[in-house]
Chain A
Amino acid sequence: MQRAAHTAVCGWSNVVAPAMIRRCLKCRVPLQFSSRAYSVVPTPRDSEEKDMLDRILRVDHAGEYGANRIYAGQMAVLGRSRTGPLIQQMWDQEKKHLQKFNEILAENRVRPTALLPIWNVAGFVLGASTALLGKEGAMACTVAVEESISEHYNSQIRALMEKDPERYTELLQVIKEFRDEEMEHHDTGLEHDAETVPGYWLLKNAIQLGCRAAIYVSERV
């Protein structure tokens, strides 16, 4: 039903006067030829909406990229221990998320954040250093990061719902699905004795502060 509506809109847009198409080309949005009729993100109606969607997608992409690198760091240290398979499993899910966001970014011509190399290194270092504290340290890091990310996804969901839940249905679905999986990781971390690491409260808050700063910066740069 959504698909029919979308193709109907695409059909209408081909009939519209060239002036509007020119304005849309100025909007720099793949108006006439997305290679699939169905896409997760609706075509932005004006540059304001494009900016908002760009920001959301950019920071989500950066977040998944960072989470990927954190798990890579943890695996580098704990890969051969008992928790190796567990971390590997969580890492695989993050890889899936990153791939999805890569697709969405490419389709919608969103600029990725310029700070990716920094998140590359910082994520790996964070994962590796918390893993050096042992399995509990790695789990505590996971708990902190996943809690941040879930909070962040929730605020995005709220923002999109406030704007127009109908229009962003597919995007909301994707974000909700990812948020649920991140919460699963968070719960897994708690189950595996995250809270027993010495200095848990300090570690958790420090990591969450870092995540919040990273999110703030990635939205803008």
Chain B
Amino acid sequence: MAALLRGVRAGRALRGLSSGKTGPDRLCGAVVAAPTATTPQCSSLSRGFHRAAPRLQDDFKSDKPPPSSSSTTFHEHYQAHSAEQDNTATASHEGAAAEQASRPNTSYQDQSGEQGEEYETEEQLQARILTAALEFVPLHGWSMEAIASGAETLGLSSASTGMFNNGAGDLVLHFITQCNSQLTEILAEQHKQVQLGQAEPKATADFLRDAVETRLRMYIPYIESWPQAMSILLLPHNIPDSLKHLSTLVDDIWYYAGDRSTDMNWYTKRAALTGIYNTTELVMLQDSSPDFEDTWNFLDNRIQDVVNMASTAKQVQSTGEAVVQGLMGAAFTLKNLTGLNQRR
């Protein structure tokens, strides 16, 4: 059973990977067939899973009437399945998959394609729609129209925007999450290079500057509409999420920069980087220099400030210690001179 679920999950993942236009049914059928146990009980259970699977798929498919012919043929296939249940499950699975693939499938979204669609969760579907919607942001801004257009490119009806309770907020947060994961992948790759000895480790200031620059460059295609996105993020119901994303971003950057502190430095470093990131983002919005040179210069200067402040703080501390020691020494000398130190 566990093997079956793993197979289903692998199939789902593969489904997410595939472009979706190359008949994933056959793929899924084959994938599910492989780890399927030969017991009939398992296959009937899995059939039960498939039936119980996202019925919500039907909600936004309802206005897209499936071709009646293919639905009846699906029913026929299903009857055939139940009849074949007593035979080896693998044979029936593969048979069904082959049959479905051979049938002319104009759209893989309709109910007869349920075999493939059901491996995708609602979250993954939402993610796909939002990713597709990003194309339309320069045109429609961060809005429901963009999401609707995105849904349409995937072949879904624009009524599927009903899935998104938060509307444009969902789109912006999805984009931010995507940028953060991209950055984490890049930083992880660099980290691996350094560990393998194929690259030199960068100085902290340079690392921070490069990481923030890379991350902010992801906004360049959307820079015209980014003020709108920022104002959406400032809406009260979006603030907790956007703060969470910001804090994970800053934590990731510091982790890969090599910060392993476990005291107040943990907090001060992250607070400093958050300040740098936010101010640089704001500067970027108003920057009109070629390739945002002014922004990167600003970023450079702010990071230098922080580095200077850190070294100044260290200097102050060591000076303070030296002064204290000097005073103690002076007091001790005074005590000696006045004879207070002698024990009688």
Q: A residues within 8 Å of B by Cβ?
A: 16-20, 22, 25-26, 28, 32-33, 35, 61, 101-102, 105-106, 109, 111-112, 114, 116-117
Q: B residues within 8 Å of A by Cβ?
A: 10, 12-14, 16-17, 124, 177, 181, 184-185, 188, 191-192, 195, 248, 251-252, 255, 260-264, 266-267
* B13 CB contacts on chain A under 8 angstroms: 16-20
Please name the 9 residue pairs, one residue from A and one from B, whose CB atoms are nearest each other, closest first. A17-B13, A106-B260, A105-B262, A19-B13, A112-B262, A102-B262, A25-B184, A19-B16, A112-B266
Do the beta carbons of A32 and B188 come within 8 Å of each other?
yes
Complex Cα distance, B78 from A66, in Å, reads 67
Partner of B267, one of A61, A105, A109, A114: A114
Complex Cα distance, B13 from A20, in Å, reads 8
* A19 CB contacts on chain B under 8 angstroms: 12-13, 16-17, 124
Taking chain B's interface residues, is the majority helix, strand, or loop, or is none over half, making it mixed? helix
Do the beta carbons of A26 and B181 come within 8 Å of each other?
yes
> Chain B: which residue is nearest A111 at the CB level?
B266
Complex Cα distance, B310 from A217, in Å, reads 30
Complex Cα distance, B17 from A106, in Å, reads 34
Known: A102-B262, A116-B263. 10 other contacts (CB 8 A): A17-B13, A19-B12, A25-B181, A28-B248, A33-B195, A35-B195, A101-B262, A106-B260, A106-B262, A112-B266
Provide 27 A-B residue pairs closer than 8 Å at the C-beta atoms, listed in order of the A residue.
A16-B13, A17-B10, A17-B16, A18-B13, A18-B17, A19-B124, A22-B181, A25-B181, A25-B184, A25-B185, A26-B181, A28-B248, A28-B251, A28-B252, A32-B188, A33-B188, A33-B191, A35-B195, A61-B262, A102-B262, A106-B260, A106-B261, A109-B251, A111-B266, A114-B267, A116-B263, A116-B264
Q: How far is the CB of A15 from chain B (nearest CB, A)?
A: 10
> Chain B: which residue is nearest A109 at the CB level?
B255
* B252 CB contacts on chain A under 8 angstroms: 28
Q: How far is the CB of A117 from chain B (nearest CB, A)?
A: 6
| Known contacts A26-B181, A28-B251, A111-B266; A17/B17 CB under 8 A | yes
> Chain B: which residue is nearest A30 at the CB level?
B255
Q: How far is the CB of A220 from chain B (nearest CB, A)?
A: 16
Do the beta carbons of B264 and A33 come within 8 Å of each other?
no
* B14 CB contacts on chain A under 8 angstroms: 17
> Chain B: which residue is nearest A22 at the CB level?
B181
* B266 CB contacts on chain A under 8 angstroms: 111-112
Complex Cα distance, B255 from A22, in Å, reads 18
